[in-house]
Structure 1
Amino acid sequence: MKEASGIHMVTGNGENSYAANSRLQEKAILETRPVLCKAIQEVCTSLSARRSTMVVADLGCSSGPNTLHVVSEVIGAVQFYTRKLEEERRAVEVQFFLNDLPGNDFNLVFRSLEQLEHLGGKETQPYYVAGLLGSYYRKLFPSRSVHFFHSSYSLMWRSKGCVEKEKLDTFNLPYYAPSVKEVKALINESKLFDIEHVRLFESNWYPQDDSDSDVVLDYAIGGANVAKCIRAVLEPLIVDHFGDNIIEELFVVYASVVAKHLEKVKAKYPIIMASLKKAMH
């Protein structure tokens, strides 16, 4: 399978778009907020100049409100930290690079940035946002040019499904969900990073369900919402391979299948959160 350079989420902000159906991914960002803030504080501490620039890269930023979530969380964390310092140390500028493949809806991303204009009032840290097209499986930045990398719900996408070509089916997804053990082993094998924090948490299949109950109260609505969430991610790949004639019926059937499953048991997604620091040799 060729490198998956054409993968992208459903564009725009319509009913079936990724922007309108990414609540599951939002919950993961909110869950990881304390780790992100702690890492940003450590980066701030390492900046020595009175007027410093922090460079932040979001790998697989996609589009929609979650992209802005990450930007605003970083700005808020920098602002909170610098307020505790002396006045002359408060001028930390933040340069964001929002990275995704060329098919990503960057137009929506940049149209949405005006929502951040009033973040923190007049004392908002100076920040600058740029889009960066390309695969994170290739080199994207000059050496030692980025202070902080962030990636959420992106690293399970492989560059290319790793078996002999003749064994591939006609439709394949470059997707892999590793275990915590595999993640730790891969990081340790690279010898590039030290593991600061790693843990597994779970999120309900039904993105709008934030309860800890073992019962889905409305499994029909739950099935429909799960289907929308998956459709927002996979529709472009399916249309590219099969055409768009099957899309509506496919996800109606899929919603029904998920609803029947939720009627029996409340299913959850496992999500791995990891915070890494560059290894000092």
Structure 2
Amino acid sequence: MDSFNIPQYTPSPLEVKAEVLKEGSFSINRLEVSEVNWSGNKKTTEYNGHQSRNGNLHGEGYSVAMCMRAVAEPMLISHFREGIIEDVFRRYRMLIEDRMAKEKTEFINVTLSLTRNPA
């Protein structure tokens, strides 16, 4: 796994705005930022005698791990082999669950409404 890296950079809203203005093809009508907790709401439910948060019997990190799996799995399979995928994402889910237990975890969404500038 040391030979594989998926770099990720999440720009701030100000960086997004600066890039749109610098490029010049669009005007920004509206820029909104929303924070989405990784575990969704904090509702606890019960299913077949098992308590879970958000109705998820797999643990808090399951949804986040599966979201990342949807993006990374094809790249991982082409770089390594299909046989390691289950173990990789099981370990990743455990890392995410540990992080979620220790700190506030959230996705930051930047939404833009743009109008194309006249040519």
With the length of structure 2 as denominator, give the TM-score of the two structures: 0.76
Question: Aligned residues: percent identity?
Answer: 34
Are residues 1:179 and 2:12 paired? yes
Which residue is 1:260 aligned to?
98
Q: Aligned with 1:176: secondary structure?
A: coil
Structure 2 Cα separation of the partners of residues 259 and 235 of structure 1: 19
Where does residue 116 of structure 2 map in the other structure?
278
What is the TM-score with the length of structure 1 in the denominator? 0.35
- Residue number in structure 1 paired with 2:26: 193
Where do residues 1-281 of structure 1 align in structure 2 (5 Å cutoff)? 170-173=3-6, 175-206=8-39, 209-210=40-41, 217=53, 221-280=59-118
The answer to which structure, 1 or 2, has the higher relative contact order (CA under 8 A, 6+ apart) is 2
Structure 1 unmatched ranges of 5 or more:
1-168, 212-216
User: Would the alpha carbon gap of residues 177 and 256 (structure 1) be closer, same or farther in structure 2, given more than 3 Å must change?
Assistant: same
> How far apart are residue 188 of structure 1 and its match?
0.7
| Offset of residue 237 of structure 1 | 0.6
How many positions carry a matched residue from both structures?
108
Matched position secondary structure for 2:14: helix
Q: Give me the whole-angstrom Cα distance separating, in 2, the residues matched to 1:239 and 1:280.
A: 44
RMSD between aligned residues:
2.6
Tell me the SS of whatever aligns to 1:194.
strand
CA distance in 2, matches of 1:253, 1:275: 38
| Whole-Å separation in 2 of the counterparts to 1:174 and 1:260 | 22
SS state at 1:222 partner: coil
The Cα of 1:174 is off from its aligned counterpart by: 6.0
Cα distance in 1 for residues equivalent to 2:104 and 2:10: 20
Distance in 2 (CA, whole Å) between partners of 1:236 and 1:264 is 30
Rg bigger for which structure? 1
Q: Deviations over 1:233-254 (max 9, x none)?
A: 2100111111112111111111
| Aligned amino acid, residue 78 of structure 2 | D
- Cα distance in 1 for partners of 2:29, 2:93 equals 39
- Mapped to 2, the partners of 1:175 and 1:257 lie a distance apart of 18
CA positional deviation for 1:223: 1.2
